[in-house]
Amino acid sequence: MDKKLRIDLQRVPKHVAIIMDGNGRWAKSKGMSRIFGHRNALTAVRESVQAASNVKIEAITLYAFSTENWNRPKLEVDALMSLLINSLKKELPDFMKNGVKVNSIGAINALPKKAQKVLNDVISETSNNKKITLTFALSYGSREEIVNAIKNISKKVVNKELNLEKIDENIINNHLYTFNLPDVDLMIRTSGEQRISNFLLWQMAYAELYFTDILWPDFREEHFYDAIIEYQNRERRFGKTSEQITE
């Protein structure tokens, strides 16, 4: 039976986040450089976005480049930035055809100027697309995001633009990079690692976590459906009891 047909379209997650892990190990297993692994990861991105769109998921966020990744060898960082630029240009026609709205989160001003321009151009071009929102987390770190939110909220309190007693979860949400996205319902991480690596810490408060041994360049549409099926087999209680959920 087609795995897609096993998915209840009324109970799909609104927002899926993916930590795309394993490019380097995949390349090493083939006697190639890490850059070779990054280049061969694009099919996994394409198929995951298509799978998410097929089952009516509203948003998918990909952890493309963390703040810590700037510490990698310069050759690898430069190759990743070049790959980002070329991939966005190449995929733009398909984004338009498939109704993909591109978004980004993170310290985007830390990216090379050319990468910033291409990214902003693609975001602008796709801004009216409505089928699915594809967010790239670039130069992103969740702790930094939360620190920035606290600073911005504090400034408003000091300037009497915001009453201290009015600060709640909604106020904090509205000061995060993801203010225009729903909370994460499902987080997928490939390659067998089982940690969240400073990714969307606030937004994943109640997310279901799904870990797979598949290395990212080998991840395909059917594997994405496996994660959704597993998600739908879990009971999401949000602090309630099973009996309360049943009622």
Helices (H) and strands (E) in the chain, counts: 9, 6
How many domains does the structure of the chain reveal? 1
Question: Which range among 179-183, 231-235, 240-244 shows the weakest confidence by mean pLDDT?
Answer: 240-244
**Percentage of the chain surpassing pLDDT 90?**
92
Contact 35, 79 (CB under 8 A): yes
pLDDT at 34 exceeding the cut of 60:
yes
Any known ligand binding at 24?
Answer: yes
Question: Which range among 3-12, 100-109, 129-138, 149-158 shows the weakest confidence by mean pLDDT?
Answer: 3-12
Q: Which domain, by its residues, includes 99?
A: 11-140+183-233
Any known ligand binding at 33?
Answer: no
CATH code of 45's domain? 3.40.1180.10
Can you give the pLDDT at residue 85? 96
pLDDT at 32 exceeding the cut of 90:
yes
pLDDT at 237 exceeding the cut of 80:
no
Residue 206 lies in a domain: yes
Beta carbons within 8 Å of 112's beta carbon, 6+ residues apart:
81
Residue 155 lies in a domain: no
DSSP 182-241: PPPSEEEE-TT----TTSSTTTTTT-EEEE-SS-GGG--HHHHHHHHHHHHTS---TTS-
pLDDT at 244 exceeding the cut of 80:
no
pLDDT at 182 exceeding the cut of 70:
yes
Q: Which two tokens stand for residue 175?
A: 């000061």
103 catalytic? Reply is no
Residue 152 lies in a domain: no
Q: How far, in Å, CA of 175 to CA of 170, rounded?
A: 9
Can you give the pLDDT at residue 162? 97
Residue 90 lies in a domain: yes
pLDDT at 241 exceeding the cut of 80:
no
Any known ligand binding at 239?
Answer: no
Can you give the pLDDT at residue 246? 62
Residue 96 lies in a domain: yes
Q: Which two tokens stand for residue 137?
A: 């987390």
pLDDT at 239 exceeding the cut of 90:
no
- The position carrying tokens 């990054």 is 38
- Residue 184 phi, psi (nearest 5): -75, 130
Confidence bin at 138 (pLDDT 50/70/90): very high
Beta carbons within 8 Å of 20's beta carbon, 6+ residues apart:
41, 44, 45, 62, 63, 64, 190, 216, 219
Any known ligand binding at 183?
Answer: no
Residue 184: C-alpha distances to residues 33, 127, 149, 168, 239 (Å): 33, 21, 18, 19, 17
Which pLDDT tens digit goes with each residue over 88-111?
999 999 999 999 999 999 999 999
Can you give the pLDDT at residue 243? 60
Contact 12, 55 (CB under 8 A): yes
71 catalytic? Reply is no
Q: Which residues are paired to 65 by β-bridges?
A: 138
Can you give the pLDDT at residue 126? 98
Residue 115 lies in a domain: yes
Residue 164 lies in a domain: no
Residue 174 lies in a domain: no
Any known ligand binding at 46?
Answer: no
List 40, 54, 69, 129, catalytic entry: 69
Any known ligand binding at 23?
Answer: yes
Q: Which residues are paired to 187 by β-bridges?
A: 17, 209
Mean pLDDT score across all residues of the chain: 95
pLDDT at 219 exceeding the cut of 70:
yes
pLDDT at 228 exceeding the cut of 70:
yes
Q: 11 exposed, middle or buried (CB, 10 Å; 0-12, 13-18, 19+)?
A: exposed
